[in-house]
Amino acid sequence: MSRPYAEVIGDPIAHSRSPIIHNHWLKALGIDADYRATHITPDALPDYIAARRDDPLWCGCNVTIPHKIAVMDHVADPGAIRDGIGAMNIVARDESGGLFGTNSDAGGFYLPIADLPLAGESAIVLGSGGAARAVLFALAQCDIGDVTIMARSPLKAAALLARFGLKGSVKPLTAALPLARLLVNTTPMGMVGQDALTIKLDSVGKDCLVYDLVYAPLETPLLKMAAAAGLETVSGIDMLIGQAQIAFELFFAVPPPADDEGQLQALLLS
């Protein structure tokens, strides 16, 4: 490879949509660079980071499962990500060429709802895994009021409330939903090949925005149910594109084109 490149690393990695997004933007901007998917197993991570550190053509990488925690041991952490979200999804170069890690999942989640006034409001978060951490971190930055985490692992959920200094409660996924301004699904339920959520939306109130992090299918069973109930919805594809926008600028030092989201969505879903 003789031109600049960035990549996404994970194990497995073949399913990643990141190359579609970044290569679309590189082409649209006429940048002579490449973005690829690279399969890296956990054992290979230290050697991978060492080799890329010395590769002048390498602009950085997105990091996905299972490396989001382990990668923190290999790069600088100027944004105190370890003590905050506790997982990195980007490694990029700083001004002197050194490597630092950051996380764009929280920012990517927040971008589509940046106009929603959330201070003091109630929110429901379904699930307590990696994506829930980014969501709860972002909600804590918004001074959210009560947060109800509904999850099958109550201990993990309670630990997340404490970690992010949030007030609220933990309930099973089978409980009735409380009134809320925002409902976020961070479980894979409703994704292609997975069972749909069995929750009912009749108790969340008419002002509740329903945000599903699942993006395949674009209109998940949860979003269909919310739309049928007259509730505002946000699809996970907006977060997927939002987190990639933040990463692209860190890798290639220019923002991606702002006006082609419809085209990109169509490409991602084709």
Q: Which residues bind to ligand NAP, rule: CB under 6 A?
A: 105, 108, 127-132, 151-153, 156, 173, 186-189, 191, 213-215, 236, 239-240, 243
Side chain identity, residue 248: F
**Catalytic annotation on 167?**
no
| Least distance in angstroms from the C-beta of 168 to ligand NAP | 16
Q: How far is CA 236 from CA 36, 106, 208, 243, in A?
A: 22, 13, 17, 11
| Residue whose CB is less far from ligand NAP, 20 or 173 | 173
- Token pair listed for 259: 């006006």
Q: Give the helix/strand (H/E) hosting 158.
A: helix 154-163
Minimum CB distance to ligand NAP, residue 132 (Å) = 6
Identity of the residue, 46 or 129, whose beta carbon is nearer to ligand NAP in the bound complex: 129
Identify the active-site residue in 68, 156, 206, 224.
68
C-alpha torsion angle, residues 5, 21, 50, 52 (rounded to 10): 0
Indicate the DSSP class of residue 177: P
Closest contact distance (angstroms) between CB of 91 and ligand NAP is: 17
Distance, in Å, from the CA atom of 235 to the CA atom of 263, rounded to the nearest integer, reads 16
Helix (H) or strand (E) holding 230: none
Question: Length of the chain, please?
Answer: 270
Which is nearer to ligand NAP, 58 or 137 (by Cβ)? 137
Nearer to ligand NAP, 122 or 187 (CB): 187
The residue with its CB nearest to ligand NAP is 129
If we measure between CA atoms, which residue out of 176, 128, 122, 174 comes closest to residue 149?
128
Minimum gap (Å) between residue 95 Cβ and ligand NAP: 28
Can you tell me the distance from the alpha carbon of 42 to that of 36, in angstroms, rounded to the nearest whole number? 19
Helices (H), 36-129: 45-53, 105-110
Least separation in angstroms between residue 246's CB and ligand NAP is 11
Q: Which residue's CB is nearer to ligand NAP, number 53 or number 153? A: 153
Q: Where are the beta strands (DSSP E) in 97-246?
A: 99-102, 123-126, 147-150, 168-171, 182-185, 209-212, 233-235
Nearer to ligand NAP by Cβ, of 93 and 148: the residue is: 148
- Smallest gap from Cβ 32 to ligand NAP, in A, equals 28
Residues that are catalytic: 68
